[in-house]
Structure formats: structure tokens, C-alpha cells
Amino acid sequence: MNQFKHISFTVFLLVFAAMCSWGCPASGETTSGRAAGVEDNVFSKTHAFHPLLNVVDVRADLAKRQQHPESGTHLFWEAEDFVYIGTLVDTEWTRRAPAWPVFHPAAFCMAGPNRVCAFRWSIVSPTAKPAKAGPHRLWIRRVQWRQIAAPLVVRILQGGKVVAQATLGEKVDDIDPYQARLIWDPMDVMLKALPLTIEIEKPKDEGVAGDRIVDAVYLTSDLAYEPVGRTQLPSLAILRERAGLVGGGAKLVVWPAEEPWISFGIHDWPTGGELSTQVAIEACQDELEPALVRLTSMVGQPLRLKIAAGPLKDAQGRSYPAPEVRVVGFLNTLRYGWQPLPLLRRRGVGLAPYHTAGLWITVDTHGIPAGSYNSTITLSGDGVAQDIDVQLTVHPIRIPRDPEFWTWVWGGPPAAPAGFDAGAAYLRDIAAHGNNCLHHTKVALNHVNLMKQLGFVSGHARGVNWGFARSRKDYDSEEYRKVMAEGIAKARQVAEKLGFDEKHFSTLFMDEPPLDDHWFNVHKVGKEIQDDVMVWIDPIDVTPEQAKRFLPVIDFWAPHEFNLNRPETMRILKSGPGRVTFYNHYTQDATNPVKSWTWFRRMPWHAWEQQLDGCGFYSYFSPDGNPWNDRDGKADGGAGQYVVVYPGTAGAIPTPQWEAWREGREDRDRLAVLQKAIDDARKRGDDAAADQAQAVMRWAVDKALNASSPADFSRANQRVIQEILKLR
């Protein structure tokens, strides 16, 4: 095979982000408010900085070898040549870099036109044929970035048979906290002059192992040759050169993201054109609006930067509360690699040399008049003095929360240290994110006054024993009806203590029951003996026939989102006297913000399109293990899949997905404001303007429900705002 790749390439090292950046608080800080100085002290082992990134170029060495064929044959493959093996593909670590959007491989790979990065995947080389038979040596290039072995099983096949197999990568080098090592591991093989295939996979049942980061394979008949590149990361000369071109001598560059929901990697690198120290935010009144700012270090030493946010000020100098600034932290999800998940309350941010961090900025427009405002966020320390200018425009449109649109979440309060009221923090947090229907009534019973202050208007509780309702079928017996009546009465007592009437509280007999004969009889008996409490049901699958049958015995429908694609089913459900909502959980994957922010934000738009009474999801916090570090790599995402907040000593630590859920709720209430403006226009006889606005609303809803990027939601909301202003 005479084809060689004359391309330099990058080892794209994805490593732990600054989970506990400079300025961590004492462990005793437990205040849950937004007062200055309050920080999140997470329940995990933390690191201040990321290890370093490097770019290694072997093109010159390869060219030298090609010029001296007498020294043996040299066959070289890089990441772009690797393909999947098939059954050996493992979703935990087998992802082709160009198809892995969260890491944005083109953003920082200084590797020529293809900009290929490879990591954590099973690979097979293209078929190749040695120039002649005889002994050869195969070299596998990998990255070692922590003191944990990351073995690789390497096989060479000819004629469909394995001619050599070895386990490489078991050697562990000492590694400095800010450095990693690039390692070439060799194996010898006796080859025939036949095509060959090289396979690489991870061992089975290996136990704990480090990340496998492989980007190059080198086969040579020159047994005396050792590939270049067994170097300590990073190559500072290359990084310094790039920093000089992009940063222009500055130690730090700021580059706001187009949308706060776009995921970014710790090795993302600005090209220069998007650099700006200004952040423009548009919002309506009585809502919260986020923005994301990225910071990239341009120096070879760690930076420790203090964060100080000044108040919002109008043209007359009047002051309003400062924006909230959180530091974006990264977690290794295994399934999707390193992801920006927790939004940490911090007084400072730590940056490893030439790395990128994120600041999540949120403005709260509750109580702020319409107008223009600005705030200055100052970053200082280690020779850096950088101001970020936040420019806020508040439109003269209030977004009141519709009390008749019920949103809820399953899942309980995150764990908390002794002495911290996790229940109260949970209620405050879910209310602040737009939820007004309670699932965790046991928590609410301990905080009745707080629950009322926060504006919860409805709730639901189990009441009836699930095991009894599932197993017993003597529906007409005295014992059966007694147990059912006691369960419903128990739920009613909860409702009374919480101050909910019979129209705002419901009980459920079983979670996700099948709509068969048994569960029809269960709900029929419950309906006959209920004590003024609505009966809730959340089936996964509802056919039109089942909807007709169950309609008389159900007061509150919450079918799975699957059923929104069944027009006849939804028509029947909405024809009854009860409330109709929906929920979802199958497609939640909170460990992948690139995918899931659309899922969380889109649900309230679905509810508006179908004219439903609410929506909810599972789950707010239902981890399978410790969400900070229990990453089993299962196909369902492990501990982090059903988590949109993380535990901290100062209350729940949010994620972009949790913020997207609130944004979706505000989007839906903004649509309600537009609909009222349309109705008012018709009342005063302005049908032409009303028709135009109604058409825009239909366009906006369609845009949001088919969003392919965060900008689609932004464009939809901008059009909604414009139409509201036109109708004023």
C-alpha cells in the first residue's frame, strides 16, 4: 500500500473540568439564597484545573522515512482511516470524532485540512499489503493522562486468521497534574505478503480502566525504528504561536456563544472573529434569561480569576440586582465523554493553560421596568483584568405564569449535608423553574407555608397502596372497597393539609398502568367511592379504544408523549371533562446536553400546540448511584441520565437542561400573552392584524417543534415578541 496521509493530527484529550475552581467555600456554608459569597461545595473529589492539551506532528518524520525506502517499509494510518468493526462496537467508547458534535473537533485541532481527532473507540485499519513477507513491528499511539491503565487488545489478521495478538496500554507512566504523555506501544508479528487487517478493542471484564485515546497506527519492517512523538504534552511552541495569533498578546480572550444551550468543550478554541467582551441579552419582564460566555487562556500557566458582577443600571443610574454568574463544570459521562453539566456558583474560575471555561450568566427581570440596562462582570487575577459588558434590553411585555397550566417533575430532593433543609431548597428550586404542580407532597407537608408562598396551585399523591391495587381482583368485596376508600381518604387528607380543593389535587392508583380489564376495574371502583379527589393516570400507551373506555373513570390524564402522535386518542381524551396533560421520560438523557436541551425546552411548546393543560417529566433527581462520579457507562446513561440537578451544600446545582425546562415554560406563557393580544385585537375589530399574528404564532410553534438548533427557538420567540408589540 503506497498511500500515506501527509497530515498532522491532534490528540484530542478530554479531561476533567474545574469542578472546584479557585475560591471554594468552607464546607459549612449552606445558605440557599443568592447572596454574595455563597458557593456550591459539591459532594465529589474535585480538581482545580484540567491537564494540558497538545498537538503532535509526525509528518516530517514520516516524509523522512519515505525518502529512504532501504530502511524498510513504513505504513501509517491516522484516525480518519479507522472504521467500525461491527459487533465489536461498544457505545461506551466507540465514537467517530467527526460525528461527535459535542467535542467540536474542528474547533481546536490544528491538524491540517481534515482536523481529525480520535478517542475511545474500537477501530479497524483499512486493508493493507506489506511490501514483502517477514518480521514487522506495529506501533499503536495512545495518550496516558492519569495513573490508571487503559489496556487495548490489538489483533492482526491475514487471510481471515489471527496471526498476532497482544494487550497494549497496560504500562502507566508518572504524570504531572498539568501534563499527560503520548506513548507508542509496540507489538511484533511475522507477516506474509498478503492483505492484513488490524483490529483494536478494549478487553472484556477488565474492571476499572482509564480512557482510551488512540489516534495513530504505524506498521514498519524496520525493527530498529522507533516513532517520534513519545513526548510530554503539550507542545508549548505550537500553542504559544496560536495564542499569539488569536489573543494578540492578551492572557485571556472572551467569546460569547451565540446561544447558551450550545455545548462546548474544554479544548474549544476561538478563531478570532467571534471575540467580544460584550454580551447582548433580550428579555421580557418577569422572566429569567441566560447567556453563555466562553473564556480561553492564552498563556502557559494556570490562571486563577476572581469573578465580580456589578448591578444592572439604567440610563439614569438606577440600580437593580446584578446578574447571576455560574461557572460551567464538566463531568465524564462515559457514554458521551466529557460534558458541560453542572452550573456551579463560584467566586472564581480556574483555567489550565490554553484551556476554555464557561460562565453562565442569568438576568432576572422580575420587578425591572422595560428599558435598557448594563452590568459589568469583572475577571481579575494572575495579571488579568478583564471586563465583560452585559447589555440587557427588557421589552415592555410581562410574562405572567399561567396558573391553569400545570407543570411538574418527578424525583426527589438531592442529598444534602446535615443541618441543611434539602426539602425547602427543593421546593424553592422547582418553583423557580416554572413548576406549580407538586409531586413530592410528603416534602410539602413539612413546608406547608413555604409551599403556599411559592405559588403551587395543585398536586398529586399516591394514597392507594400500589401492591394491593395491582394484585387483588375481588373488586366487589367489602375488603377491597374498604382498602380503596381508605387510600383515597388518605390522599384527601394530604390535599386538605396542603390547602388544595378537589379540583386541584389527584391520587393515582398505579404508576404507568396498562389499560387492560384489571386496571379499568380498579379505576371504576375508585371512581365510585372517591371522596372528591381527582383520579390521575399516566399510561404509556393509549389507543383510541382504551381512551373511550377509560374516559368516564379518569379525572386527570397524563399519558406519555408518544400519544401526542395519535390524533384520535388525543381528541377523545380532550373531549372529556377532566384535565389532559402529558409527560415523558424515555428520551430524557441529561448526560447529553447537545441532544436533551431541545427535549426539555420543546415539551411546553407541544402542550401549547395540542392545547393541553400541562406537562411534566421524569426525573428531576433520581440517580442510579452518585451522579458526581458513578458513571457505569451503561446504554441508559448510568447515574446521570435522570438527573437535571446535582447535589451541593448551597442547594441544588442546576444544569443547562434544567434551565431549558424553565425557558420552555416561559416560552409557552409568552404564547399565551400573544394569544390574548390576538383575542383583544379581534374584540376591537382589527381582524387583519389578528390573522397576521395568528399566522406568525403557527409559524413559531412549527419552528420550535422542529428545531434543529438553539437559534430556532430564539427566532421563534423573537417573532412572537414582535407580534405582541405590534398588537399593543
Q: Where in the chain do CATH 2.60.120.260 domains reside?
A: 9-16+51-233
* Angle subtended at Cα 435 by Cα 492 and Cα 453, rounded to the nearest 5 degrees: 70
Report pLDDT for 238: 63
| Residue 501 banded pLDDT, cuts 50, 70, 90 | very high
CA distances from 160 to 15, 34, 153, 156, 465 (A): 38, 65, 17, 10, 60
Reported pTM: 0.74
- Which residues are bridge partners to 185 per DSSP? 140
Query: In the chain, how many H helices and how many E strands?
Result: 14, 33
The C-alpha cell at 423 is 426539602
Q: Where in the chain do CATH 3.20.20.80 domains reside?
A: 406-653
pLDDT in tens, 295-313: 999 988 888 899 999 999 9
Yes or no: say if 542 and 568 are a contact pair by the CB < 8 Å rule. no
Cis peptide before 619 (omega within 30 of 0): yes
| Residue 442 banded pLDDT, cuts 50, 70, 90 | confident
Looking at residues 395-406, what average pLDDT do you find? Answer: 95
Report pLDDT for 15: 26
Report pLDDT for 206: 56
Within the chain, what is the greatest distance between any pair of CA atoms?
96
CA 22 to chain centre: 24
Work out the burial of residue 385: count CB atoms within 10 Å of its CB; fewer than 13 is exposed, 13-18 middle, 19 or more buried.
exposed
Asked if CATH classification 2.60.40.10 holds for the domain at 237-398, the reply, yes or no, is: yes
What is the rounded distance in angstroms from the CA atom of residue 428 to the CA atom of residue 432? 6
pLDDT in tens, 556-581: 999 999 999 999 999 999 999 999 99
Report pLDDT for 122: 43
Nearest to 7 by CA among 121, 102, 109: 109
- Confidence check: pLDDT of 107 > 50: no
Report pLDDT for 55: 27
Q: Domain 9-16+51-233: which CATH class?
A: mainly beta
CA distances from 456 to 423, 500, 538 (A): 15, 9, 21
- The DSSP 8-state label assigned to residue 601 in this structure reads H
Q: What's domain 406-653's superfamily in CATH?
A: Glycosidases (3.20.20.80)
Three-state SS for 624?
coil
Report pLDDT for 196: 85
Q: Where in the chain do CATH 2.60.40.10 domains reside?
A: 237-398
pLDDT in tens, 199-225: 877 676 555 555 556 667 788 898 988
Report pLDDT for 59: 44
The C-alpha cell at 364 is 432576572
- Confidence check: pLDDT of 521 > 60: yes
